[in-house]
Structure 1
Amino acid sequence: MATFTNFLLSKPPSSPSLFTQPSPLFFRPTTSSSSPRLAKPQPPLVARPTGPRGLTVRATAATQNSSPPASDERVQKVHSLEEFDAALRAAEDRLVVVEYEASRSASSNKMYPFMVELSRQCNDVVFLLVLGDESEATRELCRREKVKKAPHFTFYKSMERVHDEEGIGPDQLVGDVLYYGDNHSAVKQLHSREDVEKLIEGHKADHKLVVLDVGLKHCGPCVKVYPTVIKLSRQMSESVVFARMNGDENDSCMQFLKDMDVVEVPTFLFIRDGEIRGRYVGSGKGELIGEILRYQGVRVTY
């Protein structure tokens, strides 16, 4: 199970911006094709913009040191297509995070030490490093994966490419790893309507509030608010049950979203005693906390 205690702080220090534009890798660009899209419900789901208030997640690892840490044994260096494919197969259902670097990229040099530190914290996540301009073999790997600039991060689960990021800093990387690789026991991972019904039925007797986080795999606001969900699940474990579902995981999940009239994500459903008491649509962290407290009977003034 990934542990992120060092990265989830109530009063985080300021985190400098590493970069805004990724650096080109040194090979001939190729035309990229758009990622396949899953069928959307009617009306289509849309991502709700991020709210302005609430908790902030900051990364605490040092980012100013441009040289790699002495011990980076948990980051596997990949030098060819064959090594890359073998690493994905060996990971099985664990999250795989791939960083593509360029030797002349200052942004890559700043980002790599942080990824090494993150790899030490996340024992159930596989971290790979590809130096895109190292050789013709790595250039060929970048061409196949349609990676043109560095630093670039790709995320895989069960050999499926689930997410891409380009030109990000430590905070965003932490959020992505939490969202796509979380096995935190306090947040129930639901994969079907039957899972939802079983969870609700199981908490009728104890009268606990169930907070169901409904999102999509490729949803920036869903990713951004999820570290807050994890933090709250730890802080409120005695009185609140947190769960999440990705609507585009399978047909059962998508049908559940349609039945619940979920047309924007993230949507949080508040359930108690087997009934949906209300919902919050959006990713405002402060507003989410306020809504949870309100459904627990705490008066909240905005």
Structure 2
Amino acid sequence: MATITNFLVKQSPYLTPITKITPLYPQFPSNHLQLSSKPKQNYFNLESNRRATFTAKSAAASGVETAKKDERVQKVHSIEEFDAALRAAKNRLVVVEYAASNSEDSSKIYPFMVDLSRNCSDVDFLLVMGDESEETRKLCAREKIEQVPHFSFYKSMEKIHEEEAIGPDRLIGDVLYYGDNHSAVVQLHCREDVEKLIGEHKVDHKLIVLDVGLKHCGPCVKVYPTVLKLSRSMADTVVFARMNGDENDSCMQFLRDMNVVEVPTFLFIRDGEICGRYVGSGKGELIGEILRYQGVRVTY
């Protein structure tokens, strides 16, 4: 779980206090990287006769023709093409993979990005081969890319997240978390959005599960695919919503008022009142808590 600093401002009367507060530390910086344990290698100053064709490697790994598979992954060959692609995407999520032709890790992760591109039509995917040319080397230098595979996430031309040395599960979780437009999970951007949602469900008595997190919180990303699945399977009885506390001042104030000191925190709301919370990213524990507030007896 991640700790939020300076939040013990006001205690909500409906919430059980968190008895253990972890030591405070600065909030998550936008340039935070999850670094690989492998030694760093410079992939972008190699002799051209040592390069292998990256698309050929990807085809061998996936067993299908690349011409059909990666039609939604745009290859970028220069800074100008890169900036133009970000501008064209506007507010859509853009996922950029920086790779190298002789990197086995790049070859292994690329087919998963291709599959994501085929299933996530509202997300743009870019591929930059860092050792392709002097132009791509300049782009990697500008973006401070030192190790591949490296993934950067953009919205409205702003970098919102980046990671290195991640596996397929983390990549899928990141794309869902930062690019989700799934209608069953209500996106909340201020206190007024929360109050409106609560008012809408006072009549039908549905349980509201509010997922509170931060933009660069690993555990928040980890649990979000579970939230998506539950939002579909429990749509008749439960309303799922989420809020990133660091999106704006209103969201941050809401977290302070709710005495949220660790994320992810799930607030359970029924009939206009907060009836409990779950702090953590355990899938089984979250499902158990939801069932308990639905009146199902759960034993651990």
Q: TM-score under structure 2 normalisation?
A: 0.80
Higher deviation after alignment, 194-203 or 158-167 = 158-167
CA contact (8 A) 1:101 1:131 kept: yes
Identify which of 62, 70, 79 aligns with 1:65.
62
Identify which of 285, 292, 295 aligns with 1:294.
292
Q: C-alpha displacement at 1:23, in angstroms?
A: 6.3
3-state SS in 2 of match to 1:150: coil
Corresponding residue for residue 174 of structure 1: 172
Q: C-alpha displacement at 1:185, in angstroms?
A: 0.3
Q: Which has the higher helix share?
A: 2
CA contact (8 A) 2:95 2:152 kept: yes
Q: 1:22 to 1:145 in 2, by over 3 A?
A: farther
1:207, 1:177 → 2: CA distance?
32
Q: C-alpha displacement at 1:120, in angstroms?
A: 0.6
3-state SS in 2 of match to 1:123: coil
2:66, 2:96 → 1: CA distance?
18
Corresponding residue for residue 199 of structure 1: 197
Q: C-alpha displacement at 1:64, in angstroms?
A: 4.2
CA contact (8 A) 1:22 1:107 kept: no
Within-5 A mapping of 1:1-302: 21=38, 24-27=41-44, 64-65=61-62, 69-71=66-68, 72-302=70-300
Q: 1:165 to 1:120 in 2, by over 3 A?
A: same
1:217, 1:137 → 2: CA distance?
31
3-state SS in 2 of match to 1:196: helix
3-state SS in 2 of match to 1:90: helix
- Runs of at least 4 residues of structure 1 off by over 2 A? 19-28, 62-70
3-state SS in 2 of match to 1:213: strand
Q: C-alpha displacement at 1:70, in angstroms?
A: 3.1
Q: 1:145 to 1:246 in 2, by over 3 A?
A: same
Question: What letter is aligned with 2:141?
Answer: R
Question: What letter is aligned with 1:99?
Answer: E
Question: What letter is aligned with 1:24?
Answer: Q
Unaligned runs of 5+ in 2: 1-35, 46-58
Question: What letter is aligned with 2:255?
Answer: L
Q: 1:280 to 1:154 in 2, by over 3 A?
A: same
Question: What letter is aligned with 1:97?
Answer: V
3-state SS in 1 of match to 2:162: strand
Question: What letter is aligned with 1:297?
Answer: G
Q: C-alpha displacement at 1:66, in angstroms?
A: 7.9
1:20, 1:213 → 2: CA distance?
31
Q: Over residues 241-267 of structure 1, what are the superposed CA-to-partner deviations in whole Å (9 max), with x where a residue is unaligned?
A: 000000000000000000000010000
CA contact (8 A) 1:96 1:127 kept: yes
CA contact (8 A) 1:271 1:278 kept: yes
3-state SS in 1 of match to 2:223: helix
Q: How many residues align?
A: 251
The structure with the largest alpha-carbon Rg is 2
- CA RMSD between the two structures: 1.8
1:155, 1:63 → 2: CA distance?
27
Unaligned runs of 5+ in 1: 1-18, 29-61
Question: What letter is aligned with 1:169?
Answer: G
